[in-house]
Structure 1
Amino acid sequence: MTACFPHPYVVFGVTGRTGAAAADALLRSGLPVRVVVRDLAQGRPWAERGAEVAVADLTDLASMVAALSQAQGAYVVCPQHYQREDLFVRADLIATITARAAVAAEVPRLVALSSVGADRENGTGWIGMNRMFEQRLGATGVPTTFLRAAYFMENWMPMVGHAIHSGVLPTFLTPAERTIPMVATVDVGSAAAALLQEARKGSGVVTLSGPRDYAPNDVAALMSAALGTLVEVAELPEAAWPNALADAGFSPAALAGFTEMSRGLIGSHIDIKSDHAAIEWAGTTMLEHVIIELVRRQR
């Protein structure tokens, strides 16, 4: 008699934070997981934990169909290549291939990483790539939950590194006392894992924020406590953004996208509550835990 093994949950992006957190949460629950990586070496740590490993190129339909075959569901992401001038074209290609592969592999349900602001037609910069991802997947008819995450707490990593050495925390988010929703990437992955296991029918949107909103001033205060020395906030005017990002490796198109996105955040055009049809979820990880870990890694 042939043994019948349950089909796996397929997880993309395991070399990044949210995919790794999603795969980890599923494996900890004793569920079958197939991770998708660019080369086998990236999959070895997951294989050691009992996961299947599939190698796929996000722009190659055949390998994507193979990676998604016989799945209970899949967590899909559309990585954004900020060093490329054609980053929007590249994102559209990945979104299109992912959509076609999901249909060909007959995936029963998807959870797709997106972003707050993806409901806006314009004025969102980089987030336009998440909107494109939603549109391509939404057109397939495959039941999909679009997980629109708030501003990642880990986005503060380069600024934290600067503050450790200078005592000054630069911020593009102004004014420094204004709070916005932020979420830890571990909570994004945990939410994705939970959504994959839901018996929900059809498609929908879930917004995910942290347990409370935070301001740049809060980040500086938490850093001061972690370092035992005063960290001050430096609000960066828009004219200073290109110079501040000179070492980030952004293409001109990516820099323009960052600028428009930041304007949208500052002006509240990008708002986690702007889509009234979305279901609101909240993570549990406090910003202080993330900041303490970022400080520990960079000291």
Structure 2
Amino acid sequence: MYAITGITGKVGGAMARVLLAAGQSVRAVVRDAKKGEAWATLGCEIAVAEMEDREALTKAFTGATAVFILPPSEFDPEPGYPEAQLVIDSVTTALIAARPKRVLCLSTIGGDAVQDNLLSQRTMMEKAVTAIGMPLTILRPGWFIENALWDVPSARDNGIIHSFLQPADKVFPMVATQDVGRVAADLIQEDWSGTRIVELEGPRHISPNDLAGAFAGALGKPVRVETVPRGTWEALFRSQGMKNPTPRIRMLDGFNEGWIAFQDMGSKVVKGRIDVDAVIATLVAGART
């Protein structure tokens, strides 16, 4: 039986569906019992647990062959990432108490970056779970193509997408969340020892211009990129309600400057199947319904 956290999200949901289709038993770990009802209908066992609740998590993990850890994302963290640390302490305590045979932890490209940035929360989780000593797979996917959901209105209404990734012709490792879920489902069913790191991206690197081209194809009209000047980011993010925008800014710097990257220039990266055009077409179609 596989205990899946984050099952109501895109990655966890895709992973669970692959496992269910393969005839595997799945325990859906959800924060809200109401959100678990749809998964119960699909045949999942339901466990209700907040990621910060170590006792509830221990119960959710107990008896599992393997556990999938999908930490919640905190986009405007307090200095020092106390929100992430609270989850990390809860997760590690629960894993030590429950003792599943294997652990799969969703991290990110840049999980090994030495410079502090928004993704350092994942670095902290990696280090803490590794220290437990259980068989561990750390899955580091690239930038989610689905982040372009925020660009749908401006692409549709104005023929423009605004990019913090820059320059517009620079390519970045990106991946569809469906690919992440599928690969995660494959990995968690494998048997291994020690700690392994698996890096994952889509079939090809993608530039902001490629995203605009995919929007143009889906919308049937021209779409172009406008890069957001680096000097405007802090004021812009604060105007949007962020209290501590520096980690987000440094994360974007890391992608643009190249210090958030896959190991060994991506020579061992696993390639996904779903291209950018398919993902953007789905986002656009979803916005129409």
Give deviations 1:38-73, integer Å, cap 9, x for gaps.
111010010000000000011111101000000010
Question: Mapping of 1:108-147 within 5 angstroms?
Answer: 108-123=101-116, 125-147=117-139
Question: Mapping of 1:176-191 within 5 angstroms?
Answer: 176-191=168-183
Which residue of the other structure, out of 253, 257, 279, is the alignment partner of 2:247?
257
Give the match for residue 258 of structure 2.
268
The whole-number CA distance in structure 2 between the counterparts of 1:12 and 1:44 is 15
SS in 1 for 2:82: helix
Question: Mapping of 1:1-299 within 5 angstroms?
Answer: 8-85=1-78, 88-123=81-116, 125-242=117-234, 244-245=236-237, 249=241, 251-253=242-244, 255-274=245-264, 279-299=268-288
SS in 2 for 1:211: coil
Q: Following TM superposition, by how much is the alpha carbon of 1:252 offset from its aligned partner in structure 2, in angstroms?
A: 2.2
The whole-number CA distance in structure 2 between the counterparts of 1:121 and 1:219 is 29
The whole-number CA distance in structure 2 between the counterparts of 1:34 and 1:263 is 38
Q: Following TM superposition, by how much is the alpha carbon of 1:279 offset from its aligned partner in structure 2, in angstroms?
A: 4.8
SS in 2 for 1:208: strand
The whole-number CA distance in structure 1 between the counterparts of 2:119 and 2:142 is 11
The whole-number CA distance in structure 2 between the counterparts of 1:283 and 1:99 is 30
SS in 1 for 2:139: strand
Give deviations 1:3-25, integer Å, cap 9, x for gaps.
xxxxx100000121111111111
Name the Cα RMSD after superposition.
1.7
Counterpart residue identity of residue 192, structure 1: A
Q: 1:17 to 1:149 in 2, by over 3 A?
A: same
- For the 8 Å contact 1:14–1:35, the answer to whether it is kept is yes
Q: How many residues align?
A: 288
Q: Using structure 2 for the length normalisation, give the TM-score.
A: 0.95
Give deviations 1:198-256, integer Å, cap 9, x for gaps.
1111111000011111100011111111111111110111122245546754x322x21
- For the 8 Å contact 1:149–1:183, the answer to whether it is kept is yes
Q: Using structure 1 for the length normalisation, give the TM-score.
A: 0.92
Q: Following TM superposition, by how much is the alpha carbon of 1:77 offset from its aligned partner in structure 2, in angstroms?
A: 1.3
The whole-number CA distance in structure 2 between the counterparts of 1:9 and 1:83 is 31
Give deviations 1:153-183, integer Å, cap 9, x for gaps.
0111102222111111110011100111100
SS in 1 for 2:6: coil
The whole-number CA distance in structure 2 between the counterparts of 1:98 and 1:17 is 21
SS in 1 for 2:178: helix
The whole-number CA distance in structure 1 between the counterparts of 2:265 and 2:172 is 16
Q: 1:130 to 1:188 in 2, by over 3 A?
A: same
- For the 8 Å contact 2:234–2:246, the answer to whether it is kept is no
SS in 2 for 1:270: coil
- For the 8 Å contact 1:205–1:279, the answer to whether it is kept is no
Gaps of 5+ in 1: 1-7
- For the 8 Å contact 2:75–2:118, the answer to whether it is kept is no
Q: 1:117 to 1:83 in 2, by over 3 A?
A: closer
Q: 1:271 to 1:241 in 2, by over 3 A?
A: same
Give the match for residue 5 of structure 1.
none
The whole-number CA distance in structure 1 between the counterparts of 2:273 and 2:80 is 33
Runs of 4+ in 1 over 6 A off after TM superposition: none
The whole-number CA distance in structure 2 between the counterparts of 1:178 and 1:78 is 29
Counterpart residue identity of residue 215, structure 1: S
Q: 1:244 to 1:294 in 2, by over 3 A?
A: farther
The whole-number CA distance in structure 1 between the counterparts of 2:278 and 2:236 is 26
